């Protein structure tokens, strides 16, 4: 849905300006209404966006049509600005989210500062709709699929030969294959998003990374 893509861009501009009212806010509000936005899902980056939408499609859901806007933050430190965009003084829509384990403390501190509750536990965050990947989404996908299946996906994507060369690098030789795969996916721009889509496409739908599964169930 073109309106949702345009809204996603406009929301990013609004957030970058601190969630303040002005032309960016007006444009985002208009596009949110046109796209029928009813819920926002805050994720750290483009690969998370791709994974969430890909899994939803595999389960027969169209998030755009449902009014679920998945918004990449461009880094966890932007969550406060995006919460301002989505909150009572902004779009006033329910919010959920997904983050890496390393960013959980930052997400928690912002939710405590902007929400009605303090001293949030991991379970409290999930109750609010925020789920944490261990250690990140790539790690969750590799663990669910297993290294053999992930290497089969690399072969299909035309990257297996490059991966074999990568494995021979001195910095990689003593790492486990799972760690090598994880690092390989971050070596080129766009590769994380490429493999988020490809790996989600190979998931057994009864064996989905729990944070991703819970997030989609929540929204």
Residue 215 reports pLDDT greater than 90: yes
Instruction: Supply angle C-alpha 49, 50, 56, rounded to 5.
Output: 90
Please indicate whether residue 17 or residue 36 has the higher confidence score (pLDDT).
36
pLDDT digits over 130-179, tens only?
A: 999 998 999 999 999 999 999 999 999 999 999 999 999 999 999 999 99
Helical segments of the chain, H only: 2-16, 23-35, 46-58, 63-66, 79-86, 104-114, 122-128, 137-145, 147-156, 160-167, 177-184, 191-202, 210-218
CA distances from 148 to 154, 160, 177, 182 (A): 10, 12, 9, 13
Diameter of the chain measured on Cα atoms: 53
Q: Which pLDDT does position 1 carry in this prediction?
A: 54
Q: 10 vs 25, 26, 30, 71, 186, CA distance in Å?
A: 8, 9, 10, 11, 27
* pLDDT > 90 fraction of the chain, expressed in percent and rounded: 85
Quick one: tokens of 141?
Answer: 């996908």
Determine the average pLDDT of the residues in 190-194: 94
pLDDT of 66-92, one tens digit each? 999 999 999 889 999 999 999 988 999
Distance separating alpha carbons of residues 210 and 121, to the nearest angstrom: 18
Token pair listed for 2: 């073109």
pLDDT (tens digit per residue) in 31-49: 999 999 999 999 999 999 9
- The token duo for 80 is 């406060």
User: Whole-structure pTM over 0.85, yes or no?
Assistant: yes
How would you class 133 by CB atoms within 10 Å of its CB: exposed for 0-12, middle for 13-18, buried for 19 or more?
A: buried
- CA distance to 167, 180, 191, per residue, from 170 (Å): 8, 12, 22
Q: What is the dihedral of CA 33, 72, 181, 101, to 10 degrees?
A: -120
């Amino acid at each position: 849905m073109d309106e949702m893509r345009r809204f996603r861009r406009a929301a990013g501009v609004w957030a970058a300006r601190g969630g303040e009212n002005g032309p960016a806010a007006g444009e985002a509000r208009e596009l949110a209404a046109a796209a029928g936005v009813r819920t926002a899902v805050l994720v750290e980056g483009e690969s998370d966006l791709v994974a969430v939408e890909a899994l939803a499609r595999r389960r027969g859901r169209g998030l755009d049509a449902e009014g679920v806007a998945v918004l990449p933050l461009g880094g966890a430190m932007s969550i406060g600005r995006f919460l301002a965009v989505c909150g009572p003084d902004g779009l006033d829509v329910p919010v959920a989210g997904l983050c890496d384990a390393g960013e959980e403390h930052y997400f928690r501190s912002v939710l405590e500062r902007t929400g009605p509750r303090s001293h949030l536990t991991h379970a409290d965050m999930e109750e609010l709709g925020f789920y944490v990947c261990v250690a990140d989404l790539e790690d969750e996908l590799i663990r669910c699929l297993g290294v053999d299946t992930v290497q089969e996906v690399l072969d299909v994507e035309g990257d297996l030969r490059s991966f074999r060369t990568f494995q021979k690098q001195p910095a990689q030789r003593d790492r486990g294959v799972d760690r090598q795969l994880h690092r390989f996916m971050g070596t080129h721009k766009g590769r994380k998003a490429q493999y988020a889509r490809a790996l989600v496409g190979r998931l057994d739908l009864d064996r989905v990374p729990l944070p991703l599964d819970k997030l989609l169930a929540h929204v």
